[in-house]
Structure 1
Amino acid sequence: MHKPALPSSFDLPARDYVRVVLVETSHSGNIGAVARAMKNMGLGNLWLVSPRSFPDETSYARAAGASDVLDRARVVATLDEAIADCVLVMGTSARGRKVPWPVMSPTDAAQQVGDYQERGEVALVFGRENNGLSNDELQRCHVHIHIPSNPDYGSLNVAMAVQVLCYEVRMQYLRGLENSENNPQLKAINSPEDAGWDVPAATVAELDGFFGHLEATLADIEFHRRDNPRQLMTRLRRLFQRARPDQMEINILRGVLSAVQKTATDRGETTAGASQQDQQDV
């Protein structure tokens, strides 16, 4: 039995106006993998041109929860049937045709897909696993899409190629949303100053408390000499301020320092007169 569909989350308006067309797919598992790739990126309009075997359990098993995409897939006999009512047809192809044809990168193709959202359906056409689209089929496409893969190993599985194109379509959609610059799906999370971090950034006072604790600990273990400090604490301050630690990280570091001080004291290694800093619980 195939896995039931996961809850549908086709959140792109493109779920219907972007049509993914597979031509004469030999392995039904690839159809399932394509369905999964499409649903990952919020698309759900799949057309199959004369597949060798569909539907079958292999395709549903490979869909891994995207069986709803397969359930609504259209099967037709020819490419002409699959693209007849589309206003733009884009076919994946390698470069090097005798007669040059308009060729786009996946990113540029996705931009053009977005431009057609109000005009009608757009078909993204993918060829056979072994030899892609024929010359006649490529001539039915307004534009060719070239995925710039490694020239020494450029063959992509059809599901991989679909994933690349669907990802670019999704990114184009997300960037086009209102207030896209604040979209958490597009923003990096690198430090406590970024939305989505789990703990607030350490304050200046908390950092200063840590640096005092660090200096005292290094003196306790005779790594740092206050009478000849050189640039040690300056460089350590630069290091930790560059890391921009959060409050929990500072507490953890101070807990480590406390453990080091206790071990040094237990071993009788604490230098005379070394100042102890206030401890913070981790």
Structure 2
Amino acid sequence: MLERLRTVLIGTSHSGNIGGVARAMHNMGLSDLALVAPRSEVIHQDSISRASGADHLLHGARVSQTLDEAVADCTLVVGASARSRTLPWPMLSPRELGRRLPDECRQEGARIALVFGREDSGLTNDELHRCHAHVHIPTNADFSSLNLAAAVQVVAYECRLAWLEQQASSGGSDADEAEASLGADEQRASHADLERYFAHLEQTLTTIGFHDPQKPRQLMARLRRLYLRARPRRIELNILRGILSATDKTAADRADRPPRP
């Protein structure tokens, strides 16, 4: 289960913090580190020093320029959020997240991204809208700021506890085996699948006049929340894409018809 967890850091500004995250991950048995547009060197004296023997995670870290690239193959994306947003999103505590992991990891090919933002400003609303859910660490309201490595440590610890509980329980159930053996179409859609759908959806809604990009009224954000909450499978997403394609064709046919006399 732990090998299916990817820690994603966005815009990290201090090399030492990247090293501290690597140490926190290695402490808890996590090994998949991804960096999005880091503002500091990944391999640096400070990062290697703070990693304290976990520098192999630094050398193996994947660097990308966008969150979409970093989580393209992920079936669940959870963003760390330190504050409430204008548009409420499903919110989990680290412990609730840990309890979800065994079910999320049953499917063959499942991969879960744990996304953490910039030290000074966290994740943007656009980045949070690309997440299925948000995880919030219930810190002291009078002093809620957490160091990046400390935040990763808390979340990774709860993930490890869930893994240890799973290890202590009996072997996989029939339900586990059934989920893992599902065909590719019946498996949950990946982040990349969903992003292609959202782009198609927005284009179609704009074409038929239902969505005005100049006056969005949070329409696409609300639709994102709806579909991410539903967790569609690939075959279901293919059906939805088919509906959009049929809508596009009908709209184009009507546009090509000569006006009635």
The normalised TM-score by structure 1 is 0.58
Distance between the aligned counterparts of 1:62 and 1:105, measured in 2? 27
Give the CA deviation at 1:66.
0.4
Residue identity opposite 1:59 in structure 2: S
**Which of 36, 39, 48 is residue 26 of structure 2 equivalent to?**
39
Q: How does 1:1-282 map to 2 (within 5 A)?
A: 13-15=1-3, 17-52=4-39, 53-119=41-107, 120-179=110-169
* Structure with greater Cα Rg: 1
Give the CA deviation at 1:97.
1.2
Residue identity opposite 1:177 in structure 2: Q
Encode CA deviations 1:23-45: one digit per residue, 9 max, x unaligned: 01000100000000000001100
Encode CA deviations 1:35-66: one digit per residue, 9 max, x unaligned: 00000001100000011222222111110000
Distance between the aligned counterparts of 1:179 and 1:141, measured in 2? 30
Distance between the aligned counterparts of 2:21 and 2:84, measured in 1? 26
Give the CA deviation at 1:179.
4.8
Distance between the aligned counterparts of 2:150 and 2:79, measured in 1? 15
Residue identity opposite 1:126 in structure 2: F
Name the structure, 1 or 2, with higher relative contact order (CA <8 Å, separation 6+): 2
Q: Give the aligned partner of residue 190 of structure 1.
A: none
Residues 150 and 68 of structure 1, relative CA distance in 2, 3 Å threshold: same
Which 10-residue stretch deviates more, 79-88 or 113-122?
113-122
Distance between the aligned counterparts of 1:128 and 1:135, measured in 2? 13
Other structure's SS at 1:177 match: helix
Give the CA deviation at 1:106.
0.4
Residue identity opposite 2:102 in structure 1: G
Structure 2: runs of 5 or more not aligned? 171-261
Identity of aligned residues (%): 54
How many equivalent residue pairs? 167
Contact 2:42 2:58 (8 Å CA) reproduced: no
Give the CA deviation at 1:96.
2.1
Distance between the aligned counterparts of 2:52 and 2:150, measured in 1? 16
Distance between the aligned counterparts of 1:70 and 1:94, measured in 2? 26
Other structure's SS at 1:48 match: strand
The normalised TM-score by structure 2 is 0.62
Give the CA deviation at 1:72.
1.1
Q: Aligned-pair RMSD on alpha carbons?
A: 1.2
Distance between the aligned counterparts of 1:130 and 1:46, measured in 2? 20
Give the CA deviation at 1:122.
0.3
Encode CA deviations 1:145-195: one digit per residue, 9 max, x unaligned: 010000011011110000000000000010111358xxxxxxxxxxxxxxx
Contact 1:89 1:125 (8 Å CA) reproduced: yes
Contact 2:10 2:37 (8 Å CA) reproduced: yes
